[in-house]
Structure 1
Amino acid sequence: RAVLGSVVGAAGAAALVGCAVSSRTSSAASLLGLGVLLTLIATVIAGPLLVRPVIRVLGGAFPALFGSIGRMSQRNALRNPRRTGATAAALMVGLALVGGMSVASASMTKSFDQQIDKTLGADFVVQNSNFVPFPREITDKIRDTAGAGLVVRSQFTTIAVSLPDGDRVKTTAAGYEPELDEVAHITYAQGDSAAALAAGRLAMDKDFAEDHGVRVGSALPVEFQGGRRAELTVGALTDQESAEGFGAQGGIYFGLGTLEKYAPGGQDAAVYVNAASGTSADDLRGNLEETLDPYPQVQVRDIADYKQLVHDQIAVLLYLVYALLGLAIVIAVLGVVNTLALSVVERTREIGLLRAIGLARRQLRRMIRLESVVIAVFGAVLGLALGLVWGVCTQQVLALQGMTALAIPWGTIVAVVIGSAVVGIVAALLPALRASRMNVLAAIAHE
């Protein structure tokens, strides 16, 4: 068991290390999946071997706190390491998934918050609630809104770009008006917004450009929607942490004039609005919302609204985490109840002897509850330790897509450990009650 667990665990650890140092998202994701699977199998295999050292630590304070009752509960949990390890495995697996997904979701939330703070410079962004483009007449009404100062339009379009290395990439590109720098903060590796938005020019992410042999000044054949073709020159390379998004490979954008020349008739996807001099942001928001009242699908958002939007979307992932946690708790409770019930049956004569020499019913129930608690916390500690490793490696994969912030939800972790102790207490209620109601003489005579 020790040799097999070590070999499988070493292979899983190597896969996770490879995932953390990989520079390609596809290979990193594959190594992450392999590492998660192998380390989980290794922990299940080696779990019984970890029972003695870990439970000695977790239950180390029991003798001092509960005297001989605490000492016996700790030793009872150590009697059958295989059974204890198997009982804790269900909780361990569930909490490992919960821990990993909690770290991933917290890191995503923090990364998005940082990116929104870094990139969004406008007071407000007007968008359709489902991000579908809206008619130009809405943009005109936004311009005419009292207190609206600078208004910058943006559109999106699907393009196909032929690259110097022979690849032909289909992606979504954006078009912006020349005042882009007034409403967004963009970091450039080469060039600037004026060069990127000039007629017949485009900008792209520097890493994408390096991968495909593109440089500033490279002329790239571009096919727009409707079949129109153009040869656009690379005017700037950006150095944004999240230049690429879902369906937006390469982080490509150009001037709105270029977009309208080759793909005319497009609708605005977003309008960035700054308050005019002498108008507060709150007043402008009220005026914009009044202007857009006839269009309920079009919404006004500021930085806080965008953060909340991201938080709400990631919350869906957290709901899945909580569902997994609930399932893990149900399975763990059943497992601990079964194990304790079996343990009570096996120790019937021993319990009778303890009762005969003066062990009170309340002390017996406490002993069984403490045994249950240490088993549940053992599973929680192993699961959360494994989940934290998975979560950190997942964040390394996300970092390849620009989500570079790592966040550990310590509050959630502490709450899960405390909750595991409560689960142990609940699971021990029936076995402890049954043990305390045993007839002492019948228990002593039990074979």
Structure 2
Amino acid sequence: TRTAPAVALLGAGVVLTLIATVVAGPLLARPLIRVLGGVFPALFGSVGRMSQRNALRNPRRTGATAAALTVGLALVGGMAVAGASMTRSVDRRIDQTLGADYIVQNRTYIPFSPEIGDRVRATAGAGVVVRQRLAAIAVRLPDGGRVETAASGYGPRLDAVSHVKYAAGNTAAALAPGHLAMDAGFARTHGVRIGSVLPAEFQGGRRARLTVAALTDQEQAEAFGLKGGLILGLGTLDRYAPGGLDSALYVNAAPGTGAGPLRARLEKTLAPYPNVQVRDQADYKKLVHDQIAVLLRLVYALLGLAIVIAVLGVVNTLALSVVERTREIGLLRAIGLARRQLRRMIRLESVVIAVFGAVLGLALGLVWGVCVQRVLALEGMTALAFPWGTIVAVVAGAAAVGVVAALLPALRASRMNVLAAIAHE
């Protein structure tokens, strides 16, 4: 499919840009640290000026020290943008397409007995109730291709509970016996037109010839593996794939019944079926948000290891720097630099290195995130979102990492014997 080459190019681009950023790190260290540490002289006087110059003293070492943090935070930034974009895309999709007051669905998405639909329909205050079923189907296309997918079957009144956009045709035509609707983009790719008759085979070997009566224009018609975005009427499914279970029920309140009272009645009706839940649009959004959040938390936990390694790298670099500058530190102490000022100087040096790595990583991560979103757009995730709160928190966290990493080297430097340090060669 068209997504596979995009994913391959994305992977190659991520690897190449990461290598380029690590290689260019020392070259970027001077201009960026001058900017990032530019406020230090104004805030901390001569101590701030020395910390900035110490970080600039060896750009190669500074770039190498920040590299681990850059890599970790680039991945964090990229995943954060991808997650935020997925969340916004799903929210937009739900707002644009879902018109039902409530959705009745199994907690684990397993189909359930039609008996539940009958009980829901008999609930006081329930108005329009539309059943949805999924059925495995194989369709032979005019270009000679064959697609194996799942078709969505709906009962009448679909327009009352869902906002389906059509490039051609309408819901009545799509749900008519022996007819189907198909995603317009998929149809165009495979030479399908309104009126095309497609040989189809359902599970169990039942064969049919279905007429394309409508073309949909849905952003996510092929999401979640449902290739072609096929929509059929329940009458067609009952004929060729009888005995199916319902995957969802879309319910609207009857005129004169509030959504709140209806939910309470539906939950009472479904009490004997603890795995079947009633959800509204907000619940549906939260469900998807939670699923995306679980994935992101797992990724962040793994990337936390990279950040721990980055902290150790900063600690090691500062410790070596303190050893190399032993005589210099002794001279600074001899001319009046207090222990507190010395510790502050080393902390500020650590902070500016850590923030440099974070800024470089986040810039790279944002580029990756935008590229990931463009790949996701091929699957219908068309919204682009930047999690600015997460980005600010990451930069602040990097500054905190710099402070923590400098604690031991700063303490060691402040405890040096001044005369022994001056005599050190």
TM over 0.5: yes
The alpha carbon displacement at 1:247 in A equals 2.3
Counterparts of 1:388 and 1:276 in 2: how far apart (Å)?
Answer: 47
Q: Report the TM-score when normalising by structure 1.
A: 0.94
Q: Deviations over 1:120-148 (max 9, x none)?
A: 11111111111111111111111111111
Match of 2:106 in 1: 128
- 2:279 corresponds to 1:307: no
Match of 1:328 in 2: 306
Q: Report the TM-score when normalising by structure 2.
A: 0.99
> Contact (CA 8 Å) 1:98, 1:324: kept in 2 or not?
no
- 2:348 corresponds to 1:370: yes
Match of 1:3 in 2: none
Match of 1:244 in 2: 222
What does 1:247-396 align with in structure 2 at a 5 Å threshold? 247-396=225-374
The alpha carbon displacement at 1:379 in A equals 0.2
Match of 2:178 in 1: 200
> Contact (CA 8 Å) 1:94, 1:324: kept in 2 or not?
no
- 2:183 corresponds to 1:183: no
Match of 2:116 in 1: 138
- 2:397 corresponds to 1:416: no
Q: SS state of the match for residue 277, structure 1?
A: coil
Q: Deviations over 1:177-215 (max 9, x none)?
A: 121101100000000001111111000000000110000
Q: Deviations over 1:371-421 (max 9, x none)?
A: 000000000000000000000010001111111110000110011001100
- 2:48 corresponds to 1:75: no
Q: SS state of the match for residue 273, structure 1?
A: strand
Counterparts of 2:251 and 2:351 in 1: how far apart (Å)?
Answer: 57
Q: SS state of the match for residue 200, structure 2?
A: strand
Identity over aligned pairs, percent: 78
Work out which of the residue numbers 51, 64, 67 in structure 1 matches 2:42: 64
Counterparts of 1:314 and 1:99 in 2: how far apart (Å)?
Answer: 15
Counterparts of 2:227 and 2:265 in 1: how far apart (Å)?
Answer: 36
The alpha carbon displacement at 1:325 in A equals 4.2
- 2:6 corresponds to 1:34: no
List runs of 5+ in structure 2 lacking aligned partners. Answer: none
Q: SS state of the match for residue 428, structure 1?
A: helix
Counterparts of 1:247 and 1:182 in 2: how far apart (Å)?
Answer: 26
Counterparts of 1:51 and 1:428 in 2: how far apart (Å)?
Answer: 19
Q: Deviations over 1:341-375 (max 9, x none)?
A: 00000000010011111111111001000000000
Q: SS state of the match for residue 389, structure 2?
A: helix
Counterpart residue type for residue 112 of structure 1: V
Counterparts of 1:45 and 1:190 in 2: how far apart (Å)?
Answer: 53
Counterparts of 2:134 and 2:79 in 1: how far apart (Å)?
Answer: 32
Work out which of the residue numbers 133, 150, 165 in structure 1 matches 2:128: 150
What does 1:18-57 align with in structure 2 at a 5 Å threshold? 24-57=2-35
Counterparts of 1:194 and 1:256 in 2: how far apart (Å)?
Answer: 12
Counterpart residue type for residue 286 of structure 1: A
Work out which of the residue numbers 392, 413, 419 in structure 2 matches 1:441: 419
Counterpart residue type for residue 292 of structure 2: I
Counterparts of 1:245 and 1:445 in 2: how far apart (Å)?
Answer: 71
| Residues matched between the structures, number | 425
The alpha carbon displacement at 1:324 in A equals 3.7
> Contact (CA 8 Å) 1:352, 1:440: kept in 2 or not?
yes
Match of 1:6 in 2: none
List runs of 5+ in structure 1 lacking aligned partners. Answer: 1-22
Counterparts of 2:283 and 2:46 in 1: how far apart (Å)?
Answer: 57
Counterparts of 1:432 and 1:325 in 2: how far apart (Å)?
Answer: 27
The alpha carbon displacement at 1:49 in A equals 1.0
Counterpart residue type for residue 14 of structure 2: V
Counterparts of 1:269 and 1:177 in 2: how far apart (Å)?
Answer: 12
Counterparts of 2:234 and 2:364 in 1: how far apart (Å)?
Answer: 49
Counterparts of 2:40 and 2:227 in 1: how far apart (Å)?
Answer: 57
Instruction: After the TM superposition, list the runs of 4 or more consecutive aligned residues in structure 1 that deviate by more than 6 angstroms.
Output: none
Q: Deviations over 1:157-186 (max 9, x none)?
A: 000000001111100101111211011000
Match of 2:89 in 1: 111
